[in-house]
Amino acid sequence: MKNAENVKIGIVGAGSWGTAIAGMLGEKGYKLDLWAWEPEVRASITEKRENDLFLPGVRLSENIRVSNDLDSVTGGKDLVVFVVPTHVMREMAGRAAQSLAADTVLVSAAKGIENKTHLTMTGVLAEVLPEHKDRVAVVSGPSFAAEVARGLPTVVAAAAPDPEVAAFLQQVFSTPFFRVYTNTDVMGVQLGGAVKNVIAIASGIVDGLELGLNSRAALITRGLTEIRRLGLKLGANPHTFAGLSGVGDLVLTCTGTLSRNHTVGKMIGQGKSLDEILSSMSMVAEGVRTARSVYNLSNKINVEMPIAHSVYQVLYESLKPDEAVYQLMTRTLKSELEDVE
């Protein structure tokens, strides 16, 4: 594994999170290439050293070179970080295939599950780029981009099947304000990061309906049970869900005012339609698409996830939010620890 001090880095995706990662690594001293689709983002970063569209008010390091040439961003790099919406991950990985070096480490910093295949994002990367499957990893945890960009203390997990790859990422990403723990449970880390977005929509609905703090605490707790239940079925380590990418990210996204998924849910609880909400947002709320993936996947493998299913029904089957709450509260009574071991 290459020394972390001399790493050539490419970042694919200049939304808020991709820009925050680029800014952090640039400030650490890495010279890196950042791929941006939007011409206004490229112009803003080049001319003002700021991403006006997705991360306004944050000055970006001169070490960042922004481009729309994917080959130049990903070619010859030791590390390529994919920070694109999950529904375009497959396309972007395929486009990068011809330029990637044989030993490039690939990292997903996106949180979601692909609709058609029900693959996690590292699963998509490994399927599209099978020659890199042993060097595919994920960085995830409670990390709002705006706070990372401001240098506020943040702690995440870097997970890879090879402990050496995870340790390499730990060295690259760690700074005095961005602490990284290693993990080998790639599936668990990703499921925590993906499904929490669905639960966060539910939490937002609770807040939009003004159901109180008791309701939100209960929903977060039972939402974690559902995430763990799905993870166990898919071979994840149950301890992962008590960690940063599990309860940590879940609590942040279900309670933080910077959460796009919580915002979507809150507006639904206040009576707005999904189409109306999404048309007003410039950034992607991944939980909207992931709700469909989780619903179909859990049905396929027979995992009970009533909260996630209710979110799907509210989003896609016109179930009224107050009816969803009643439906959840009047389910068959059972033991709290049923099906969680």
Distance CA 166, CA 181 (A): 9
Distance CA 43, CA 82 (A): 21
Mean pLDDT of the chain: 96
The beta-carbon contacts of 327-331 under 8 Å, at least 24 apart in sequence, are 331/306
Q: What is the pLDDT of residues 316-330, one digit of tens each?
A: 999 999 999 999 999
Q: What is the average per-residue pLDDT within 12-26?
A: 98
Domain boundary pick from 134, 160, 184 = 184
Which residues are the active-site residues?
Answer: 196
Is residue 340 scored above 60 in pLDDT? no
Domain membership of residue 294 (yes or no) is yes
φ and ψ at residue 120, rounded to 5 degrees: -70, 175
Three-class DSSP labels, 75-133: CCCCEEEECCCHHHHHHHHHHHCCCCCCCCEEEECCCCECCCCCCEHHHHHHHHCHHHH
**Both tokens assigned to 45:** 């970063």
User: Domain tally for the chain?
Assistant: 2
Domain boundary pick from 169, 184, 199 = 184
Same domain assignment for residues 134 and 240 = no
Q: Give me the domain span that covers residue 126.
A: 4-184
Query: 52: closest CA among 64, 39, 62?
Result: 39
Which pTM does this prediction carry?
0.96
Burial of residue 197 (CB within 10 Å: 0-12, 13-18, 19+) is buried
Q: What is the pLDDT of residues 132-181, one digit of tens each?
A: 999 999 999 999 999 999 999 999 999 999 999 999 999 999 999 999 99
**Both tokens assigned to 240:** 């992962």
**Both tokens assigned to 149:** 């960009």
The letter for the amino acid at 157 is: A
Same domain assignment for residues 213 and 295 = yes
Is residue 105 scored above 80 in pLDDT? yes
Domain membership of residue 334 (yes or no) is no
Same domain assignment for residues 193 and 318 = yes
Q: What is the pLDDT of residues 35-77, one digit of tens each?
A: 999 999 999 999 999 999 999 999 999 999 999 999 999 999 9
Domain membership of residue 341 (yes or no) is no
Report the CATH number at residue 80. 3.40.50.720
Same domain assignment for residues 197 and 279 = yes
Type and span of the H or E element at 66: strand 64-67
What local confidence, expressed as pLDDT, does residue 70 receive?
98
Is residue 1 scored above 90 in pLDDT? no
Q: What angle do CA 250, 253, 255 make, to 5 degrees?
A: 100
